[in-house]
Amino acid sequence: MTHKPTILLTGGAGYIGSHTYVALVEAGFAPIILDDFSNSSPVVLERLQRICGQAVVCQRGSVADVALVQSLLERHQVAAVVHFAGFKAVGESVAQPLKYYANNLGGMVALLQAMDAAPCRTLVFSSSATVYGDPVRVPITEDFARSHTNPYGHTKLVCEDILASMRNANAALRTGVLRYFNPVGAHPSGLIGEDPLGEPNNLMPYVAQVAVGKREFLNVYGNNYPTPDGTGVRDYIHVQDLAQAHVAALQTLLRGQPSFTVNVGTGQGHSVLEVVHAFEQASQRPVPYRVAPRRAGDVASCYADPTLAQHLLGWRATRSLADMCTDTWRWQSANPNGYKKG
């Protein structure tokens, strides 16, 4: 049997981490999880075991614990790390900026210290299209100017800069920076999916909770944007496609290719109302909505030019908005309370 490279997933029990775990197992890797469960549920581990048919290796703990991470890297002879662990709620980051700077920047610095000591020299980082701020035009290419409009976005931007400084200082370090657009959807088994704490901030989980009857109606934040139907346009990407982008990123780096920063989107924009209608189709449930004022900090239109990822990683998204809604609905209807029982 050939040796399976071990991949450490920080935040591996979270929404994107858990889907990437499955994709890595399917691609012949041996992923292990480090998670403090501050924004995820241990139930994920049972679900991953059911999907993959094998025991899940998981260490409960913080990525900020340098000694712990170093010992994991050494003990498991980790070939590469995927760094998902981080807080991601924009509004909360405005209210509690230090929470975001401490966790997201502190976590990145500690991880790099542990990787330096181990040593482990290959890292894939979860960045975000938020680093483009209010883009001057669409579609967005990777050479666009970066900016930020909130502390969460600032932490993603600074993490990218920290990686650039580290690459500059250490030629052996190779990094893959993935700028996610809007991840949605769930594993087709319906066993894992997005489980936001409290009221969802993002569109798709909110729509799903309206369809399942947990919430009365959706607030559509603005219908007077300069877009075809007046509502905001985003590049929604199926989490399974996103998970496969991580596999492609790791394969590329472990083949010895140079570091890269790429957009991970479909290249196709969809409006809020298109999402609502697609979800009604997929669920065969009504999604009532009311038009509300614009949300502070929102942009009219944001979608990727995903050409570079296709060129460098040989990856592109294949799943449609209908697939995203169907899989979200399967997860939501089978788990109306997420991973919580009852």
In angstroms, rounded to a whole number, what is the distance separating the alpha carbons of residues 234 and 299?
9
Among 10, 40, 128, 209, binds ligand UD1 (CB under 6 A): 128
The piece of 2-10, 291-299, 318-326, 332-340 that touches ligand UD1 (CB under 6 A) is: 291-299
In angstroms, rounded to a whole number, what is the distance separating the alpha carbons of residues 15 and 20?
9
| Strand-pair category, 122-128 with 30-35 | unpaired
Does 202 bind ligand UD1 (CB under 6 A)? Our answer is yes
Among 84, 206, 260, 331, binds ligand UD1 (CB under 6 A): 206
Comparing CB distances to ligand UD1, the nearer of 6 and 328 is 328
Comparing CB distances to ligand UD1, the nearer of 127 and 251 is 127
Q: Tell me how far apart the terminal alpha carbons of the chain are, to the nearest angstrom.
A: 43
Beta-carbon-side half-sphere exposure of residue 150 (alpha carbons within 13 Å) = 19
Does 214 bind ligand UD1 (CB under 6 A)? Our answer is no
Does 219 bind ligand UD1 (CB under 6 A)? Our answer is yes
Does 272 bind ligand UD1 (CB under 6 A)? Our answer is yes
In angstroms, rounded to a whole number, what is the distance separating the alpha carbons of residues 286 and 329?
13
Comparing CB distances to ligand UD1, the nearer of 76 and 101 is 101
Nearest to 100 by CA among 39, 184, 54: 39
In angstroms, rounded to a whole number, what is the distance separating the alpha carbons of residues 122 and 297?
34
Residue in the shown chain whose Cβ atom is closest to ligand UD1: 232
Active site residue 303: no
> With the C-alpha atoms ordered 237, 127, 188, 190, is the resulting torsion angle positive or negative?
negative
Residues annotated as catalytic (active site), given as ranges: 152
Binding interface with ligand UD1 (CB under 6 A):
88, 90, 128, 130, 153, 182, 201-203, 206, 218-221, 232, 234, 272, 295, 297-298
